[in-house]
Amino acid sequence: MTRLFNAPAAFADEALEGFVAAHRRWVRPVSGGVVRSAPAPRGQVAVVIGGGSGHYPAFSGLVGPGLAHGAAVGNVFASPSARQVRTVAEQAHAGGGVLLMFGNYAGDVLHFGQAAEQLNAAGIETRCVSVTDDISSADRADLDKRRGIAGDLPVFKAAAAAAEQGRDLDGVVAAARHANARTRSFGIAFSGCTLPGADHPLFTVDEGRMAVGLGIHGEPGIGEREVPTADGAAELLVSALLAELPDGVTDPRGERAAVILNGLGTVKYEELFVVYRRVAQLLDEAGVEVVDPEVGELVTSFDMAGVSLTLCWLDEELETLWTAGADTPAYRKGEVTTAPATGSAQEIRTDAPDAAVPAATEASRTAATTAVAALRAIRDTVDTHAEELGRIDAVAGDGDHGIGMRRGSEAAHTAAVRAAGAGAGAGTAVGAAADAWADRAGGTSGALWGVLLHAVGAALGDTEAPTAQAMADGVSEASAAVRRLGGAEVGDKTMVDVLVPFADTLAGAVAGGTALTVAWDRAATAAEDAAQATAGLVPRIGRARPHAERSLGTPDAGAHSLALIVRAVHGVLATH
């Protein structure tokens, strides 16, 4: 378990601070992550990678010549926010455009995608490529639904080496997609990881058993079996990957492959070498020629006891990119050669200077104090239930919901206090809270709560005293916006299962002339009933989908937290 930490919610920030202090030769800190300490040549495409903390050396440890130009680093097991990604990309940009790369998880897709839209709008040409190497997370017919695990490394490296060669953005994107299409990974684990501050692991397996097909966020495997010998583990890993060859590879005999045997946290190097001894024998027997294998900890999951095997099937282009030099804090190979500089670096920023607080009426400023009180109640409620939310989330997910909600709600309250203190109206104060929540929490829920609060803030505005109808309209728009962004509908076992009946009940009661406090109480009761009902559902989207049956009997963490929050807000409305 993670034994050395201060405040669990500060763990990711403090770890990044210490990493930078130890590796100033390679990296310098920027808001949201790190970039290379020495800027890239002018005109070079910038490869910016990222994801949640807890996976070192991914992602910050892979920044340096020959590999990433920058890394956006999120909270523990949660994607960085769009603002973090955008800021890192701005600092890494050298005039040739930006390629954003990440594992294929819902939060990363949302935040990196939003950042790409913002960068493109500001004149920085930006593309996204997500890594989808884990064969256990979706069938071959659904390659785009697979998650990214240790296959991140060869895909990131292919893109970065192509950038070092001087290829343009289209060429770098093509190299990344080609490497991803030819990369496959599969993993096993003997015990789950324990997040900072938690008193139990995210999942457990019985003594003498192992989970098969696990995820790097502590998601349980898709099955269990007896723990084999080291040779037996090697045979399982190799056979699984040889059973699914990528398009263009019909027979492994005569093929060349980059091979990564990755330790996930507590399976250490000598054990890995024992396993790799048999992996190498099996690949040789299959006729596969191994090129520059890597054995070690490259994408971890805190203290998870497990290993994964990755094969990237090489052709002439990919072999050149795989064997190219790299020099980063955690990954070094050969010597880095960089193409001559072309063009000139662009000085483009997408963050606007601090704007003056918009004018607000006295009535709206008074409403802002109520909004601050509501956000304080939300913060306190989340803090009280954070451990419970993490436990619920760990049943079929990664257990980070409590940590993320705590960080988001604290930041939202602080931002609203600051805005209201500067004379902001209700709309501006809630909008500031929305931005702070999304930025600080990261992950899917951070993005969705940012959208939800923005919709409510827009409905409240800064010029009028909020009415019951305005509140109902704002909540209805929040419901629609969350469904648009997240892609979930009622029945998918997400926060939408609570948000929709809450919004509909509130709208119906207000339309019938019911006072806001009474209408909110009625809607909060509907939300609580809906949250309890999610225990009988199985997830149809998101990270928990591959482990659907495990979640039966347990409510969805996002649905449960939303029900707790709307009930807490009712208490504020009743006294204001």
The residues annotated as belonging to the active site are: 217
* Residue-wise DSSP of 504-549: HHHHHHHHTT--HHHHHHHHHHHHHHHHHHGGG----SSTTGGGGG
**Strand pairing of 98-103 and 223-226?**
unpaired
Rounded CA separation 198/67 (Å): 34
Quick one: which of 409, 411, 434, 430 has its CA closest to 562? 409
Quick one: which of 262, 264, 288, 286 has its CA closest to 276? 262
Rounded CA separation 46/100 (Å): 8
- Give backbone dihedrals phi and psi of 373, rounded to 5 degrees, phi first: -65, -40
Which residues, 6+ apart, have CB-to-CB distance to 555 below 8 Å? 392, 531, 532, 534, 535
Rounded CA separation 242/244 (Å): 5
CB 523 within 8 A of CB 509: yes
What one-character DSSP code corresponds to residue 297?
-
Rounded CA separation 351/331 (Å): 32
- The answer for 562, left when phi > 0, alpha when psi is -120 to 50, beta otherwise, is alpha
DSSP bridge pairs for 397: none
